[in-house]
Amino acid sequence: MNKPLTMAQTKRLGVLAVHSVDEFVISVPNLDVAEEFYSLFGLRVEREGDALGLYTFSGAHRYGRVISGPKKRLQWLTMGVYAEDFEAFKNHFKSKGIQTIASRDPLSSDGLWIDTPDGFPVQIKVCEKSSPSMPPNRIFAPESNGAGRSPNKSKVQKVHPRYLSHVLLFTKSVTASLAFYEDVLGLRMSDSAGDDLIAFVHSPHGSDHHLLAFLKSDDYGFHHASWAVDSIDEVGLGSMQMAAAGFKEGWGVGRHVLGSNYFRYIQDPWGGFCEYSFDIDFVPHTIDWPAANHPPDDSLYAWGPDVKPDFGLNYEASGQEFVANRTPTN
């Protein structure tokens, strides 16, 4: 069902900015558990030495890496830049008085590494733009034309997300994170809600409404990775796919207001989430998105079930312990 991703690499000329979240890296205590979870979710999971690589079945890009650690913890983000911008970024960091730090990646010393205000590192690296450069694939049911349009339940195929849409991080300060990702990395605010509660940023080189977002917490952390699927049916079918494997905890199906995407969040084995997302707003490189601050109660979702009580809880913060509650399957 999934076609290969073929995207022109759009660029807003004269603007210095990262173009993609090239890769996220998290640690978890048990790689076997992670391999099973992400495979069930529909990703292509590859054993790579002491780590897992997270891919989709739509291309060769590695969107995430899972390494071993005492607990689930955000390790670092790698942000992609165009080759012609790399020297300019070096100079930009110098002009802002930002010190580079040693590589945290045992496999590579590529790129530039800097600390975020929250205290975890970000790598800036030359790489292909992996954020979409055109509106994502969207399949809607055709006109009835005398025949039923629902997927036939007996013929349903496993859902395989197409690409990483965005990552939501916990942050100690949404305001400080916004300042860092805008002033240092060139991202732009799409929308925010509340006072230092949550904010969403996109790349001026073209990306989904948000490729990164920040939610206020006592500590930094990795709230969720959001994976784009082709239809609202795939959001629902993905939810069923995970429930059948015992992963019934989560939130959705619903529709976000900011970003507009239909969602189903699956709670992962460590208390974070993995999102099936469809029809998120797209911000082309030619458009200045009308950023605004919104009331929190008119931001999160237009419709859907009540929010899961621990949806905003940061299990990476000290003092929070997640007890996995996977339903046994027959």
Give contact residues for Fe ion (rule: CB under 5 A): 226, 275
- Shortest spacing between CB 265 and Fe ion, in angstroms: 8
- In the bound state with Fe ion, the residue whose beta carbon lies nearer, of 65 and 256, is 256
- Shortest spacing between CB 110 and Fe ion, in angstroms: 28
- In the bound state with Fe ion, the residue whose beta carbon lies nearer, of 114 and 165, is 165
- Shortest spacing between CB 188 and Fe ion, in angstroms: 18
- Is residue 120 within 8 Å of 220, Cβ to Cβ? yes
- Shortest spacing between CB 210 and Fe ion, in angstroms: 8
- In the bound state with Fe ion, the residue whose beta carbon lies nearer, of 118 and 275, is 275
- In the bound state with Fe ion, the residue whose beta carbon lies nearer, of 85 and 275, is 275
How far, in Å, CA of 238 to CA of 28, rounded?
Answer: 23
Structure tokens at 68: 């071993």
Give the amino acid at 278: F
How far, in Å, CA of 62 to CA of 137, rounded?
Answer: 20
Question: Crossing angle, helix 232-244 and helix 31-41, to 10 degrees?
Answer: 140
- Is residue 84 within 8 Å of 13, Cβ to Cβ? no
At 181, give phi and psi (nearest 5°).
-70, -25
Secondary structure class of 293 (helix, strand, coil): strand
- In the bound state with Fe ion, the residue whose beta carbon lies nearer, of 127 and 266, is 266
- In the bound state with Fe ion, the residue whose beta carbon lies nearer, of 85 and 208, is 208
Q: Closest residue to Fe ion, Cβ-based?
A: 226
How far, in Å, CA of 182 to CA of 201, rounded?
Answer: 8
How far, in Å, CA of 330 to CA of 314, rounded?
Answer: 31
- Shortest spacing between CB 263 and Fe ion, in angstroms: 6
Give the amino acid at 299: S
- In the bound state with Fe ion, the residue whose beta carbon lies nearer, of 67 and 193, is 193
- Shortest spacing between CB 275 and Fe ion, in angstroms: 5
Q: How many CB atoms lie within 10 A of CB 268?
A: 27
- In the bound state with Fe ion, the residue whose beta carbon lies nearer, of 81 and 226, is 226
Secondary structure class of 242 (helix, strand, coil): helix
Structure tokens at 143: 């006109």
Structure tokens at 31: 């790689």
- Shortest spacing between CB 168 and Fe ion, in angstroms: 5
- In the bound state with Fe ion, the residue whose beta carbon lies nearer, of 275 and 279, is 275
How far, in Å, CA of 74 to CA of 51, rounded?
Answer: 14
Residue positions counted in the chain: 330
- Shortest spacing between CB 251 and Fe ion, in angstroms: 10
Give the amino acid at 47: R
- Shortest spacing between CB 226 and Fe ion, in angstroms: 4
- Is residue 167 within 8 Å of 226, Cβ to Cβ? yes
